[in-house]
Amino acid sequence: MLHAQSTIEEQLILRAIKEECSWESLPRRLQASLNSRDEWHKRITEHCIKKRLQWRTSFVRKVCREGEYYEDMMRYLRKNLALFPYHLAEYVCRVMRVSPFRYYCDMIFEVMKNEQSYDRIPNFSAADALRLTGIGRNEFIDIMNRCRSKKIMWKLNKSIARESLPTHPVDITIEPWWGVCLVNFTIEEFKKLSEEEIATIDKICKEETNAFMLFDPVIIKGLYRRGLVYLDVCVYAEDRFQVCKLEGFVSNREQSYEDPIEELLYAVFVVSSESSTVAELATTLQVELSQLQAAASFACRLAWAVKIIDPGSILQDPNSPGPSRNVVLGDEDDCSRASVGSVNTSVDGSVFQPDGSDAHGPTSGYARVAFVVDAEITSYLMMGSVSPGLKSHAVTLYEAGKLGHASIEDLCKDLSSLEGAKFEGVLQEFANHAFSLRSVLECLTSGGMPPSKGKASMDSSTNEDSASVSGHAGVPDDSDSTVTATEDTNDSDSTVTATDDTCEGEGSKSDHNFEGSDAGKAITKKIRRYHVDIMRCESLATLAPATLDRLFRRDYEIVVSMLPLPPSSVLPGPKGPVHFGPPSYSSLTPWMNLVLYSAVRGGPLSVVLMKGQFLRLLPAPLSGCEKALVWSWNETSVSDKFDGGLVKGNILLHCLNSLLKHTAVLVQPLSRYDLDESGKITTMDVPLPLKNSDGSSPDIGKELGLDTDESSKLNFLLSDLASQIELWSVGYIRLLKLFKSDPNYSFAPDDKYEWVPLSVEFGIPLFCPDLCKNICKRVVSSQLLQTNLCTEHHNAMQELRKRLQKICSEYQATGSTARMLYQRDHQPKSDQPKAPNKLLMTYASQRWNPLTEPSSPISGTNDQQRLKLANRQRSGTEVLSFDGNILRSYSLAPVYETVMGMFEEATESSSSSSKSDDMDSRETILPGVNLLFDGSELRPFDIAACLQARQPVSLIVEASIASAASSGIK
């Protein structure tokens, strides 16, 4: 829900109300804007009503009487179809005698009388009304149709709609811990009470605790139906809750009016955790405890949240204060565990300790994982009409923004019902995501361990995480699982036998396979188990950055992101939990491709073009290409890179000029030999990580089903790639098949093509079930989830972030290369000769002198262009140039290398303090210089001769920076 920005006067008024300023103590500026004392009192009352504040604890007690305040509030709530103020029931229900049932009946009647749509009712109000009155969308439409069928009578008397409304509330589920409170009886009502009811009322008045379980449920429900008692769902600061399925949720259109309870509920659903108390949740959200208690109380009324049982409180003295009130409602096995907490993750590896770590640390419980998906997944789940349970999960995930770990097993069972089903068209895309989602969830909940034989893989997630050889000195006292592991050097697989009777009630044995290297050794191995929460990234994006950071640090050790992520996604910071996903926002752009190519010194021929240019002709080597892959820096086009982005060569110039108006682009030309018979590129997706648990390199080619020769070539390429860049994470590398074009070399028939890295993506690709399964297999083989993640993964991602930072800082508009080429910041001192500047202008412009300066001319635009570029002579510092006919490479004189070093040192010193901020910023860093990757190195590329009217490139850079600053994009 969007809020209009408040003016300075409104902010001052809110501050004055918070400080309870009287009219006389108000600043003159506010007195002038409010005009009178009555107007000031009116603003105070309106503010307190909108915030649903209690009269006795708010500023409004000093400006109006209690009865007037609550009457005005109820008129305001009815007008806006708001939630019933349950937290004010002590006056509204007891004194005013307005029951929630009667309130919602009046609300529905007003909507019918005004012939408004059912969608006019806000979501939570409609859900609560459905719970109490039994009137949902279908019932509402049916009543309206019956009223309209009476025609003249309906037009003359709208009150006939009230005759179709119920006269008593429907039967609701009353939890044992809910409180029972009395209203103010009239004499007539008291005379109609039976002896049992009078005895019950006396007991309610005398008992200090009035929990529902202490009374006869039949008598209480009878009094409730007649409106003589109301239910109080009291939430204490030390209570803990678990969010469940949103059964009975009503999805109506969003309303423009503000409801603090409704807004807070959406945030509570996302940040809630059974390991955190209500007070801790209030701290996480930075809201008042009373507001959060009201929101949690409402969620419990609708059975969207259940109170967690604290086993320790059952053994305590009933008269002891504190958590002993948490005594009901958890029917899930995992809800009964007292040690469901999480420990903040730190980058020093304190969470994932080696074997033998403290049994009381996080390794003695379940590690927490947040699997981040987008709203599109919920739409796919809604399409699963073959399994009604999927719709309930989809509604919960979409509306609550989170699907707790207690629902994951049911979700996997519902997804398994789609196994073997045949789909067509869009439904097949739904099936792909469903199959992938199930594979990922089973892999994560099992801790990356192979599924047990003779037992469902999801059942293994209920095992205790501590597992070791029986009788070993390091076995914790509370360990309920034993694992005996025997490893054989002749077989890459080893067998782990686990005995678990914690949840199954029987001593069943399960066999696990994992990678091993030492022969004939019985080892002690702790199997770390995981609880997985599915979280919707759009809901996470609505939280304040500080709140989101507190949520990740408090609840989760690992965050796993799906692919592709939408532009609105938020990423955990480098000091947050382990993130199996993009290391930074810059990695979501083509910068990541350039980092990959530069690191492995290989990749397709690539040209980077700056935003704001207009080409009159294509520079070499883009001219004459059959097709080209086009990657955009625009955030809205992030998902396009997964579709290929192939553009025909004859329309490439028009396409680039259209894109360059809005964003920078990375273009990769392809010859006709690089395409298959259908005119498409040939790619291969290699799952990550690229090493096994013992550090050895896996036979990826064999795992992907390639023949011996192809497998050997692929393994050699991946081994070389893994030695150049550390990719110890979850994701995949996409390889591109290119034609080897060398007229002076005769290739064997089976050696005309080569595989080169095209892109690397971090996360889980739910759109491809086969790739997703292969990634899960690599997670199992590498034992990624059973290793010290905070050390290896953190180091690998930090190194990748450094590479991204370096290449962005060097080639952005304010980088060293751009500053050297365009002379934007560097000016020589008066005592220095100006020859270097003139020389630099000669090199940086199109006025080249091939007779006096070294060059490597490359002419023509044919299929041998790529190999010529790769085999050309290079120097330490050079600039590439195309004058419309010849592509040349020029090495800079030593004087320029000195100037270049000065710029690099200045850039490094100025960016060292803001390095982390740049990487964590959501602002898009655009290239500030044209670049060309020749298959081995990335160099500046001067294409001034190809630009319309030959406008200076430095002017384009300045205009691009000014445009980005005005639009808020870097």
Whether residue 261 has pLDDT greater than 70? yes
Among all chains, which residue has been given the structure tokens 């293994």? Answer: 460
Cα 356 from Cα 499, distance rounded (Å): 19
Q: Residue 478: is it exposed, middle or buried by C-beta count within 10 angstroms (0-12/13-18/19+)?
A: exposed
User: Taking 60 as the threshold, does the pLDDT of residue 393 lie above it?
Assistant: yes
Q: Write down the pLDDT at residue 587.
A: 86
Here the tokens at position 48 are 């307190």
How many other CB atoms sit within 10 Å of the CB of residue 669? 25
- DSSP code, position 598: H
The per-residue DSSP string of 47-89 comes to HHHHTT--GGGSGGGGTS-HHHHHHHHHHHHHHTTPPP-GGGH
Average pLDDT over residues 871-884: 62
**Section 609-624 average pLDDT:** 86
User: In this predicted structure, what is the pLDDT of residue 74?
Assistant: 94
Lowest mean pLDDT of 55-64, 194-203, 426-435, 619-628, name the range: 426-435
| Cα–Cα distance, 178 to 941 (Å, whole number) | 72
What 3-state DSSP class applies to 942? strand
Q: What's the pLDDT score for residue 882?
A: 73
The CA distance from 255 to 126, in Å, is 12
Q: Is the pLDDT of residue 613 over 80?
A: yes
Where b means 16+ CB within 10 Å and e means fewer, 925-962 reads: bbbbbbbbbbbbbbbbbbbbebbeeeeebbebbbebbe
Is pLDDT of 475 > 80?
no
Q: Which pLDDT score, from 0 to 100, does residue 255 have?
A: 58
Task: Supply the pLDDT for residue 939.
Answer: 85
Q: What is the pTM of this model?
A: 0.77
Helices (DSSP H) in 446-560: which residue ranges? Answer: 537-541, 545-555
- Distance of alpha carbon 887 from alpha carbon 848, whole angstroms: 12
pLDDT at 851 over 50: no
Distance CA 244, CA 238 (A): 19
- Mean pLDDT, the chain, whole residue set: 75
Reported confidence tier of residue 299, pLDDT bands at 50, 70, 90: very high
Q: Is the pLDDT of residue 625 over 70?
A: yes
Backbone φ and ψ for 887, nearest 5 degrees, come out as -100, 120
- Measured distance CA(273)–CA(405) in Å, rounded: 10
Confidence grade of residue 1 (pLDDT, cut at 50, 70, 90): very low
- Least confident range from 20-29, 31-40, 635-644, 788-797: namely 635-644
Whether residue 875 is predicted with pLDDT greater than 90 in this model: the reply is: no
Bridge partners of 371? 534, 560
List the alpha helices (DSSP H) in 725-788: 769-782
- Helix locations, 604-739, DSSP H: 652-659, 700-703, 708-724
In this predicted structure, the answer to whether residue 830 has a pLDDT above a threshold of 50 is no
As given in the structure block, the two tokens for residue 652 are: 């490439």
Across 275-289, 408-422, 859-873, the highest mean pLDDT is recorded for: 275-289
- Note the pLDDT tens digit of each residue in 505-553: 333 333 333 344 343 443 445 677 888 999 998 888 888 888 888 888 8
Give residues with Cβ within 8 angstroms of 960, minimum separation 6.
Answer: 610, 611, 612, 813, 926, 928
Structure tokens at 476: 């914790």
pLDDT bracket for residue 266 (50, 70, 90): confident
pLDDT in tens, 917-962: 445 567 788 888 888 888 888 888 888 878 876 556 666 666 666 6
97 pLDDT band, cuts 50/70/90, is very high
Euclidean distance between CA atoms 535 and 591, whole angstroms: 28
Hey, what are 421's tokens? 């089903």
403 with 393: CB under 8 angstroms? yes
DSSP result, 821-872: HHTSS----TTS-SHHHHHHHHHHSS---TTTS----EE--STTHHHHHHHS
